[in-house]
Structure 1
Amino acid sequence: MNKVFDSSQFLATLTQQPGVYRMYDADGEVIYVGKAKNLKKRVSSYFRKQLDAVKTKALVRNIANMDVTVTNSEAEALILENTFIKKYRPRYNVLLRDDKSYPFIFISNHKHPRIAFHRGARREKGDYFGPFPNGHAVRESLKLLQKLFPVRQCDDTFYRARSRPCLQYQLKRCLAPCVNIPSDEEYQAQVDLVRMFMRGRNDEVIERLVAAMDQASQALDFEKAAELRDQIAALRQVQERNAVSGAQEELDVVGFWREGGMTCIHLLFIRQNAVHGSRSYYPKVPAHTPDAEVLESFLVQFYLNESQGKRVTSEIVSPLQPTHAKELSQQLTDALQQRVRITSNHRGQRAQYRALANKNAMNALQSRLGQASLMQSRFDALQKLVASELNDEEPNLERFECFDISHTMGEQTVASCVVFGPEGPRTSEYRRYNIDGITPGDDFAAMAQVLSRRYKHAVERDTVPDIVFIDGGKGQLTQAEEYFAEWPQKPLLIGVAKGESRKLGLETLIFGYSRNTRHLPADNPGLHFIQYIRDESHRFAITGHKQRRAKAKKTSTLESIPSVGPKRRQNLLKYLGGLQQVKGASIEQLANVPGISKPLAETIYYALRDE
């Protein structure tokens, strides 16, 4: 029986300062996190005699304990609330579940900064512009920037190794700072223009270029003036093209739709006067949660999330009521330390954008509901198959994992593990494993290795799957049987062997231990579910293998030689003219490179010939 929480005793000593409160259940699990301008007043509202909201009644019934953290301001409380929600994932909070990282355009902090595509943690110093909805939007923007501003986009290794300008300089898409053609001031001026352009200050950029063109003309530097004239013309062309798409410089537009127990929030990203992309989100929403609470929680989590970037658009078009929009605008402005305006009464183009966002949210959710219905029918068919094999009328199936091995002639072997539930793929739990220390091409040894690494701590972490699918025949299945042989509670093992000519629908299912085989009809929904899991595992393995193979190709053979660090590699490539010249150099030629001693030259010489 749950311990009854003594609310009166807790409230008697509760402060009236701003802060964050956490509610716990009988098992000590955080079930709700909230913020308050006045902690005593806000927490007291949960324990009134008359509670209208069904969700609040259910929450209060499960409270076994509470604690609070006092903050200096409501803005600090907002940030701390978001941190706790990400940490504890409380089941009564609206949770934004999105395992994708957002791409950015990055301008580095080097002497000669570079512009680059960036995704992931922001460890390198510099300016990050975004987030963009997808990688395609970033790459298109980078192409545009390269046409407008001659700033380098090459990586640092390529930049440091140059002894003469590359093709981008000939195409007038880079000033070639790698070989010191422009002055530092001239190059930095172009970088500053990029930063201004990325912040939507296009008119200012043109004004600067016009002033520079006039100055060049007066100095009789007509070639420079002509280059600036062409740059101004290109910028004006971009402005005219974007003006066709809209007159709003920078907006985020929020669409909202709820149906069938699910919620979709669709974001349109308006950048540089045009729709730059969009993305749908499906937050986890407790039952009976009001629309306003869902929207406010989503906006707070989305815009305070560290992965979204340092800079937030200045205007957010949303379906919130004006009073809620005004209050949340102030909270985000204080928390982010920049002006954020959430608008709700819309006319003209903003109203059109909002209608478009709502339409996208409705279509996305209805499509997802259709997929969920299809997934449920496939899962039911799989349950029926397992029930007939185990003689269990209602098998409890919650977690399935599938393994696949990918390599090229035994090289760069990668094993994939994908995770599924009744609802479909759980992509945040997918894992890849680089396989080393085996005979090249030995798929059986690769399978044995990945199983031992995957399930080494599975029991204590409670992540043992109900079914393990193995993409392969009896040989691969045998490795799984041997690994799980001593386990007291074994997962069900199913090998998925390809049929004749590898055609879909001809697969043979081989059940572990019993070695019973099943051939399901090609139109069986359960077989479709297994094919989906198998194909996803295959795709994930091949992608990982290609990435590993590409990385190996990009890696210089010099990196594997002891005592040859970045500086010495740079000197070797610079003084000898490239990797092929290094490979063909004699010991004496290698020893003449600054920083390379005679013994080290011998080490490099023989290491390159032992490849």
Structure 2
Amino acid sequence: MSAFNLDVFLKTLPTSAGVYRMMSADDTVLYVGKAVNLKRRVSSYFQKNDHSPRIQLMLKQVAKVEITLTNSEAEALILENNLIKSLNPKYNILFRDDKSYPYLMLSGHDFPRLAYFRGTPKKPHRFFGPYPNGYAVRDSMEILQKVFQLRTCEDSVFAHRDRACLLHQIKRCSAPCVGAIDGADYAQSVQAATDFLNGKTADLLKTWEQNMLQAAENLDFEQAAKWRDQIQALSVVQAKQFIDSHTSNNQQDIDIIVICVEQGRVCVHWASVRGGRHVGDKNFFPDTRHDPNPQIDDYAQAFVAQHYLGKNKPDVLIVNFRLPESLHTALNAEHGKKIAIVQPERGERKVWLDNATRNAQLALSQHQLQNGNQKQRVADLAHILGLPENELHRLECFDISHTQGEATMASCVVYDDFAMQPKQYRRYNIATAKAGDDYAAMREVLTRRYGKMVQAAAQGETVRFPDVVLIDGGKGQVNMALQVWAELGLQMPIVGIAKGVERKAGLEELILPFGLPSPQPSPTGRGSEVFGAFDEFANDPIPSPCGRGLGRGQDWAMFRLPENSPALHLLQTIRDESHRFAITGMRAKRDKTRITSSLQDIAGVGAKRKAALLLKFGGLRGVQAASVDDLAQTDGISMDLARKIYDHFHGE
């Protein structure tokens, strides 16, 4: 491939709108930007010297530039946003989130189901949101169940009920599954719930009051009492959940966005108001390591573009910053009508903005304190391990979980950049180790994970190994890790975390297979209790990855840290998360295996018939509760096989 000639490239750049991509020598996208005039914008990077430290650092790595022409600046903005989301360029301002935003869904069935939903909304279902978090969705669902009594059960359960469930008995569901409510009345409840979610609560209450009075005039006092109870339920909810709003605001969807910058850190506080009801808020803390002097407007444009382009939008944005006209135009084009973007100076909206500002400032101060606490923990652990503080960033922790040898599962959790990184967690099904052999299971998972990484590094790929590997286990598990290290040629420090006396938190015993970094009795200077060397490893033939050899007992150390040790708190946090992640995966695998084995024990039930049964009846319990006639209505199940399945669970 011919070398990239920057001078020729800049001279031939067009003056039209478009998107540019700054690329490194290995074709990694470093930065994505948009421009109304590509020639002027891209040339400015290489002709000016007053760039921010973030851009200066990026320009040192640029090997070439690629462009894409668009018809307008607004179109360029949308393309820029899509590329940022898909490519995650290192030097763009990124607002990453572990999951898509949650929605509340009303399904498109004859008797619509109320459900929690994540993903891309699709017809014919109706979606309300997005909500800032799952708690906000579940809170709204609880309200709707209490007031409107809509079903929440899965379709497979709904289709096979022969009596009402507990939710009907406690007045959280009108039980359409057993005909306790007809289709017309249920549709009316669904419409009322929709009006509530759309902020038309006042109109809804007025209609219900008229219905109650009409029923009373018709001497239908039982029906009038039902309307009265429903009005009271909604009034209580409204009093607890609604912002005090007496204007037309309660008919609109409103988002409040405040950006706070302090000491080089940024917090974006997003609050969501739907129909006058504050449904939740969320704080975002973008990475500012490459931007020592962050500017509000830069982060405002990045947040609004990444948060709203291609997604549902509110009618009003209340903000403490200005947005470029091109972004406003792009948002309006997608929304189908003009979005009001306001910076209120008085009235109710100003109260909302001030409240969001206080929340943003508080969240930022707490985040900074928490970040400082994490730095202290990492620094303390680095001191114990004899590592420079600036060389300890990434820790990976492994745990093995099973139930008496059944459904063995290994977990790997990651701590990086002073926080747990759930998107980088991994689970491993243990395939070669014998049931119940924790040592062999640990050996297998370490070999699989780091064997692939060593192989990828040998092929020239960029691989990031952890700075320290944590093993949830004792001397045997640590010894297995050493064997893997020797086979793969690794030199990563290992810390074993063994359960303390009576498995009590704070009494964990830490294992350093290469000894303490200094001869002092306390590695932290805080009175740690050192137990000494492991004599059973004195003749271990495995060479030490750090070149110190394991032939001397003093190369192994086992000690406790005081209960108030920051390093111990960090290790406990990571170990507990590894254990949680392993045990939840193991339980899911175990339950799935038990369901599968229970059905596969029946002659004539293969994988397809098993899947058909589980789908039709919503799980193993549904299959067990089904009658012979119901079983025989499943695709692929004859009457004889249905009797065989029934007899398997109920006895002949």
TM-score, with length taken from structure 2: 0.78
Provide the identity percentage. 38
Question: How far apart, in 1, do the equivalents of 2:280 and 2:507 lie?
Answer: 38
Matched, 1:271 2:274: yes
Q: Distance in 1 between matches of 2:500 and 2:232?
A: 61
Confirm whether residue 429 of structure 1 aligns to residue 434 of structure 2. no
What are the Cα deviations for residues 18-59 of structure 1, in whole angstroms up to 9, with x where unaligned?
332212234432222112334344435445557565655555
Distance 1:479 1:71, change over 3 A: same
Aligned-partner Cα distance in 1 for 2:211–2:174 = 17
TM-superposed deviation, 1:200: 1.7
The range that moved more, 16-25 or 464-473, is: 16-25
CA contact (8 A) 2:497 2:511 kept: yes
Task: Compare 209-218 and 84-93 and name the one that shifted more.
Answer: 209-218
Number of aligned residue pairs: give it.
Answer: 592
Name the CA distance, whole Å, in 2 between partners of 1:60 and 1:370: 33
- For the pair 1:295 / 2:300, whether they are aligned, the reply is yes
Gap runs ≥5 in structure 1:
none
* Aligned counterparts of 1:159 and 1:261: Cα–Cα separation in 2: 54
Task: State the Cα distance separating 1:415 from its structure 2 match.
Answer: 2.3
Aligned to 1:511: 513
Q: CA deviation at 1:139?
A: 1.8
Verify the 8 A CA contact 2:112 2:190 in the aligned structure 1.
yes
Shift of 1:298: 1.3
- What's the CA shift for 1:271? 3.2
How far is the alpha carbon of 1:283 from its aligned partner? 0.8
Aligned to 2:467: 466
- Give, in angstroms, the shift of residue 241 of structure 1: 4.5
Q: Which residue of 1 aligns with 2:573?
A: 532
2: distance between equivalents of 1:316 and 1:592? 54
Query: What is the DSSP-based 3-state SS (H/G/I as helix, E as strand, rest coil) of the residue aligned with 2:415?
Result: strand
Structure 2: how far apart are the matches of 1:559 and 1:228? Answer: 51
Pick which of 31-40 and 45-54 moved more.
Answer: 45-54
Aligned to 1:191: 190
Query: How far did residue 473 of structure 1 move?
Result: 0.7
Instruction: Give distance in 1, aligned partners of 2:21 and 2:10.
Output: 14
CA distance in 1, matches of 2:119, 2:584: 18
Which of residues 282, 285, 289 in structure 2 aligns to 1:282?
Answer: 285
Q: Is the 8 A contact 1:161 1:573 kept in 2?
A: no
Aligned pairs for 1:118-133 (under 5 A) are 118-120=117-119, 126-133=125-132
Structure 1 residue 227 displacement after superposition: 3.5
Q: Give the letter for the 1:474 counterpart.
A: K
Matched to 2:557, the amino acid is T
The residue type paired with residue 479 of structure 1 is M
Partner residue in 1 for 2:33? 34
- Give, in angstroms, the shift of residue 594 of structure 1: 8.9
The aligned runs of 1:3-82 (5 Å cut-off) are: 6-7=6-7, 9-49=8-48, 51=50, 55-56=54-55, 59-60=58-59, 62-82=61-81
Q: Structure 2 vs 1, CA of residues 144 and 13 (structure 1 numbering), >3 Å: closer, same or farther?
A: same
CA distance 1:4–1:169, change in 2 (3 Å): closer
Which whole-Å deviations, capped at 9, do the CAs of 1:455-491 have from their partners, x for residues lacking one?
3422216143232211111222233233333212343
Any idea what SS the aligned residue of 1:151 has? coil
Aligned partners of 2:260 and 2:357 also within 8 Å? yes
Structure 2 vs 1, CA of residues 227 and 394 (structure 1 numbering), >3 Å: closer, same or farther? Answer: closer
CA distance in 1, matches of 2:577, 2:617: 44
**Segment drifting more, 97-106 vs 120-129:** 120-129
Please give the alpha-carbon distance, in whole angstroms, between the structure 1 residues aligned to 2:315 and 2:631. 57
Q: In the TM superposition, what is the alpha-carbon distance from 1:144 to its structure 2 partner?
A: 0.7
Matched, 1:596 2:596: no
Establish whether residue 416 from structure 1 lines up as the match of residue 411 from structure 2.
yes
Following superposition, the deviation at residue 572 of structure 1 comes to 7.8
Q: Give, in whole Å, the separation in 1 of the partners of 2:490 and 2:613.
A: 55
SS at match of 1:28: coil
Amino acid at match of 1:196: D
Aligned equivalents of 1:593, 1:540: Cα separation in 2: 36
- Structure 2 CA distance, aligned partners of 1:607 and 1:347? 72
The answer for the alignment partner of 1:84 in structure 2 is 83
- Given residue 304 of structure 2, which amino acid in structure 1 is its aligned partner? L
Q: How many Å apart are 1:559 and its aligned residue? A: 8.5
Q: Following the alignment from structure 2 to structure 1, what is the Cα–Cα distance between the partners of residues 414 and 617?
A: 46
CA 1:166–1:393 in structure 2 vs 1: closer, same or farther (change >3 Å)?
A: closer
Q: Taking structure 1 as reference, are residues 605 and 530 closer, same or farther at Cα in structure 2, changes over 3 Å only?
A: same
The aligned residue for residue 499 of structure 2 is: 498
Are 1:17 and 1:38, in contact at CA under 8 Å, matched by a contact in 2?
A: yes
Q: Give the Cα separation in 2 of the matches to 1:32 and 1:552.
A: 46
3-state SS of paired residue (2:446): helix
Question: Secondary structure, in 3 states, of the residue corresponding to 2:65?
Answer: strand
Report if the CA contact (8 A) 1:253-1:357 is conserved: yes
For the structure 1 residues 253 and 481, does the alpha-carbon distance in structure 2 shift closer, same or farther, using more than 3 Å as the test?
Answer: same
Q: Cα distance 1:62–1:396, how it changes in 2: closer, same or farther (>3 A)?
A: closer
Kindly provide the amino acid, as one letter, of the partner of residue 293 in structure 1: D
The residue that corresponds to 1:112 in the other structure is 111
User: Which moved further from structure 2: 597-606 or 106-115?
Assistant: 597-606
Change (3 A) 1:245 1:547: farther
Instruction: Name the counterpart of 1:366.
Output: 365
| Pair 1:40–1:227, CA change in 2 (3 A) | farther
Q: Structure 1 residues 229 and 464 mapped into 2: Cα distance closer, same or farther (>3 Å)?
A: same
For 1:416 and 1:592, how far apart are their aligned partners in 2? Answer: 41
Residues 91-134 of structure 1: per-residue CA shift (max 9 Å, x gap):
33111122244332111122321001223565785222222233
* Equivalent residue letter for 1:511: P
User: Is residue 497–residue 510 contact of structure 1 (8 Å, CA) maintained in 2?
Assistant: no
Deviates more, 1:358-367 or 1:173-182: 173-182
Q: Do the aligned partners of residues 483 and 50 (structure 1) sit closer, same or farther apart at CA in structure 2, a change above 3 Å counting?
A: closer
Contact 2:318 2:342 (8 Å CA) reproduced: yes
SS at match of 1:483: helix
Q: Find the partner of 2:257 among 238, 254, 257.
A: 254
Deviations 1:183-212 (A, max 9, x none): 434333322332232122324444665676
When the two structures are superposed, what TM-score results if normalisation uses the length of structure 1?
0.83
The residue that corresponds to 1:314 in the other structure is: 315
Per-residue deviation at 1:281?
0.8
Contact 2:260/2:296 (8 A) holds in 1: no
User: Contact 1:168–1:174 (CA<8 Å) still a contact in 2?
Assistant: yes
1:194–1:296: structure 2 CA closer, same or farther, 3 Å change rule? Answer: same
Unmatched tracts of structure 2, length 5 or more: 515-543, 545-549
Change (3 A) 1:590 1:258: closer
**Shift of residue 262 of structure 1?**
1.9
CA distance in 2, matches of 1:280, 1:192: 33
SS in 2 for 1:161: coil
**2:468·2:493 contact (CA, 8 Å) conserved in 1?**
yes
Query: Partners in 2 of 1:297 and 1:107 — Cα distance?
Result: 32
8 Å Cα contact 1:20-1:80 kept in structure 2: yes
Question: Equivalent residue of 2:32, what SS?
Answer: strand
**Distance in 1 (alpha carbons) for counterparts of 2:594 and 2:372:** 44
Contact 1:416-1:537 within 8 A present in 2 as well: yes
Preserved contact between residue 19 and residue 39 of structure 1 (Cα < 8 Å): yes
The superposition leaves residues 153-178 of structure 1 with CA deviations (integer Å, 9 ceiling, x where unpaired) of: 11222211112333434455433322
The range that moved more, 91-100 or 434-443, is 434-443
Q: Distance in 2 between matches of 1:433 and 1:139?
A: 31
Give distance in 2, aligned partners of 1:207 and 1:326: 41
> 1:67: how far off?
1.9
Preserved CA contact (<8 Å) 1:26 1:63:
yes
Looking at structure 2, the residues matched to 529 and 338 of structure 1 have their Cα atoms a distance apart, in angstroms, of 50
Contact 1:325 1:343 in 2 (8 A): no
- Partner Cα distance (1:293, 1:435) in 2: 47
Equivalent position of 2:535 in the other structure: none
Structure 2 counterparts to residues 79-228 of structure 1, below 5 A: 79-120=78-119, 126-206=125-205, 209=208, 224=223, 227-228=226-227
